[in-house]
Amino acid sequence: MQLVIVESPAKAKTIEKYLGPGYKVLASYGHVRDLPVKDGSVRPDEDFAMDWELYGDKQSRVKAITDAAKEADRLILATDPDREGEAISWHVRELLSKRRALPKEVERVTFNAITKATVTEAMQHPRALDQDLIDAYLARRALDYLFGFTLSPVLWRKLPGAKSAGRVQSVALRLIVEREREIESFRAQEYWSVVARLEQGGTEFQARLVRFDGEKLDRLSLGDEGVAMRAKAAVEGATFRVEEVETKPARRNPYPPFTTSTLQQEAARKLGFSASHTMRVAQTLYEAGAITYMRTDGVQMDPSAISMARKAISDRYDGHYLPEKPRHYETKAKNAQEAHEAIRPTDFAKDRYGSGDEARLYDLIWKRAIASQMASASLERTTVTLREGTGRHELRATGQVVKFPGFLAVYEEGRDQKQDAEDDDSGLLPMMNKGDTPAKRGVDATQHFTQPPPRYSEASLVKRLEELGIGRPSTYAATLQVLKDRNYVRTEKNRFFAEESGRMLTAFLERFFDRYVAYDFTAGMEDELDDVSGGRAAWKQVLAAFWRDFKPKSDEVMEKKPSEVTAALDEFLEDYLFPPKADGTDPRLCPKCGEGRLSLRGGRYGAFIACSNYPECKFTRKFAQPGGADGEGGDEDGALGKDPATGLEVVRRSGRFGPYIQLGEGKEAKRASIPKDIPELDLEWALKLLSLPREIGAHPESGKPITASIGRYGPYLAHDGKYARLRSTAEVFETGMNAAVVKLAEAANGAAARGSRAPAEPLKTFGPHPTSGGEIKLMAGRYGPYVTDGTTNATLPRDKQPEALTLEEAIALIDERAAKGPAKGKKKAPAKKAAPKKAAPKKAAGEKKTAAKKPAAKKAAAE
């Protein structure tokens, strides 16, 4: 029997069908083991020795593989054709070797598509495991571990609120934060455009003023309304003649087929998919045999695939759409063994596959791959120059005509930003000759303002990371997801916004670890890892060079006092936190007491700005709220004003669970928490919050009231014991009856569709408990994270970061909780008392009847 190992059960079932009898195909379900999440898993002092731990949920899977391997004559490792796939095969081989279950014959097979022809062909050409790729995996895994496990403890101790840092994720976060800084420092500039509406031969067109009073105009030349109006008047009062008509042919060549990163970019632009969703859908298509492997840096296609594509083109279009020779694209990847074929359909005759998101993504892949082998598009660009008699004023009209669409008939690449209307040259121009005088239908002067650089979308961020050579396209989806999960960034309308914690972390890293978040350093590390996978560098030497500088730097920062770190960040962020004021006054002067100086402080829940005269002056300001508006004192405790209805004072206070507002004193006082999304707390907002819940009206069907309020989990609607979430605090006061009824109905339908919820997924698994044998898991609970072995639950101490929890600490917490006995309220005494009573018949036969009745009564209660 020949044993074949692949990653997914879907692949296993399909491939076993292709190979037929004599083969047994099992799935590893991805990686089977990893570095334990604790200190010492990588030991630089022991020549970078590494410990590996079996995933807790892979015990039964590995046992099945081991049992099958003991009966197999040959082991065929057929995991994915990339660095990760090579690593999974290596792990499986190492595990079987340790368990003395490794067959004598072990071979590696790769294929980039799951079709019968591809799989059976690959089986005829096995090879040995690629040690260079394995070394590259080991280097990358050890590097990421050392970076994260060395830096994260520094963050926990020196930067309140920080959760973790990663080699690639920190650089991606820096890109987002730097863009945020650019937007904040941007100052819009006013400019005007003057456009004449002209007509020639019954066709209207537009011409832009490009020269005024003999001066060539650039984008910002007409800087105010006065100049713009003079220019407009000059155009209105002059007669313009055609001086030049320039027509140039142009060609546009098709784009190469998709790589991993270009697929993520286009799916984000055209389909609105996140990078992680794109990869999940692509994985499904790959495992179904519809497309080739979706993790690739290559743009080339197999010759047989090119032939299929050309046949599909000739079947669908006339001969002009098929170029005489096939198109060949070259891959920029350094390592030939990693430059796999581009992402393409396995069968070009199928222009549709699947349904829903699968169908949409397949359509995108099919069109891009087909277009890559089609003829170029032929265009004609026309530029017409018009001047008035003196030659001091000049208009220009541009147009573009598609003479032959070629590949554009199938596919055109999306854009990250819409092109400005003023740069649009896609319109048609009428036939004009030198000396013509088009009729003037009007002149428009339009005001514009320069725009700040746009925030990154997933598509543009992935593109930028790839341009900088940072990370690998196959890991971008996971990297961006970590930034969201850590709450370092948020997304709104598919754009990344840096959160307060993300900005603070980036500032910390730039100040103390600037080299390690530098773009060129991170890109250089990628080059070194590529050298390892290409056999041009030794992986342990690469790690040693990194560790030699990184470890002393982290030790140096760890020795600093928190106050020293805060002071250094206060100075580093001065331009952002305390920008110069328009009136020239000191931006650090406290707006409340007028004497103290403002500076950055570190607190349990993160950084904030405070007055040096504390506790006499309690002025505070959020870290993420730069200077300027702090004179309002929006975050300080104190009186907001008096309630006109009761005459009682409304005050803002800080409590154990955050800031809140209070009306009155003592037991009769009304209180309300202050939501984070209130732009600026004033008396009006405070009275609104204190008035909740707000009654919207009676439900048109039940007649029962619908109310809006803010609860523990945010703003919501309530009606007859049913609830619906609202997106913001503002909606609590703005939602009307119609919208409320719709939201409640949608929430009810969603709850019905979900039915019984699936069990919560663990945040982390540690392995079996040495005493109970139950799997130890870290879970997110209603009252905070906790660990459990399936029998005993133990809450994590408040000062313990979940990411830093080790197996030993988890066991100690569970054992300590178990020693205290069952939690209050769980009364099990009657069950425990039953055992002694069963032993009573040995002493007194007369008690047998009583003992016999107990189980009967217990059974009746159960029924």
Q: What is the Cα 759 distance to its own chain's centre?
A: 24
Q: In 3D, which of 384, 398, 406, 438 has the Cα closest to residue 323? A: 406
Count of C-beta atoms within a 10 Å radius of residue 580? 12
Q: How far apart are CA 340 and CA 359, in angstroms?
A: 24
Please report, as a single letter, which amino acid is at residue 546: F
Q: Is 293 assigned a catalytic role?
A: yes
- Burial annotation 118-134 (CB, 10 A radius, 16+ → b, else e): bbeebbeebeeebebbb
Q: How far apart are CA 477 and CA 463, in angstroms?
A: 12
- Burial annotation 656-677 (CB, 10 A radius, 16+ → b, else e): eeebbbbbbeeeeebebebbee
Q: What is the Cα 783 distance to its own chain's centre?
A: 27
Strands 658-663 and 606-611, sheet pairing? unpaired
Q: Which residues are bridge partners to 708 per DSSP?
A: 694, 717
Q: How far apart are CA 457 and CA 311, in angstroms?
A: 37
Q: Which residues are bridge partners to 3 per DSSP?
A: 24, 75
Contact between 108 and 85 under an 8 Å Cβ cutoff? The reply is no
Q: How far apart are CA 717 and CA 58, in angstroms?
A: 43
Count of C-beta atoms within a 10 Å radius of residue 218? 9
**Angle at CA of residue 809, ends 39 and 804, nearest 5°:** 45
Q: How many CA atoms lie within 13 A of 778 on its CB side?
A: 19
Q: In 3D, which of 604, 472, 468 has the Cα closest to residue 533? A: 472
Contact between 207 and 195 under an 8 Å Cβ cutoff? The reply is yes
Catalytic residue among 137, 191, 293, 411: 293
Q: Which residues are bridge partners to 399 per DSSP?
A: 382
Contact between 246 and 344 under an 8 Å Cβ cutoff? The reply is no
Tokens of 152: 């994260």
Q: Which residues are bridge partners to 202 per DSSP?
A: none
Tokens of 418: 């819409």
Instruction: Give residue for tokens 């906790």.
Output: 786
Provide the 8-state DSSP code for 589: B
Contact between 692 and 732 under an 8 Å Cβ cutoff? The reply is yes
Contact between 276 and 481 under an 8 Å Cβ cutoff? The reply is yes
Q: How far apart are CA 290 and CA 718, in angstroms?
A: 47
Provide the 8-state DSSP code for 823: P
Q: How far apart are CA 520 and CA 470, in angstroms?
A: 9
Please report, as a single letter, which amino acid is at residue 70: K
Count of C-beta atoms within a 10 Å radius of residue 364? 21
First to last CA, the chain: 52
Q: Write out the catalytic residue numbers.
A: 293
